[in-house]
Structure 1
């Protein structure tokens, strides 16, 4: 489905913790996440740390939408 949206001219970003699976299904823009139960957070950290982590990852995803790419790209995120 991702490929069809891209063919229609809509850039799509997939945020995924299983990057090899995202590559296999054909996602062009991939932003790594944290884990399966908590893709954009870590309940072991403070609410401020979780907010920073989410803010950064969503920011990377938004920036990736504006990035012109020619092949599958995994965008880097801070750890």
Structure 2
């Protein structure tokens, strides 16, 4: 804390400002609880829906008139040069 302007002055400003050098000790505690899982408790993730084709009505709604053709990406030629 300081008195505005007077605390900013070199040398003289030391008399018009005060710094607290108070240190507070804090402890962080992390608790780890192990849980034993049996084979009967485990079920694999169901991902069959990811393999199904995307319905056509979803694809038709993604393209709006006037959007233009999709950009063609190439390793040989950067997109900005096309």
> Normalized against structure 2, the TM-score is what?
0.17
Query: For the pair shown, which has the larger CA radius of gyration, 1 or 2?
Result: 2
Instruction: Choose between structure 1 and 2 for higher RCO, CA contacts under 8 A separated by at least 6 residues.
Output: 1
Which is helix-richer, 1 or 2?
Answer: 1
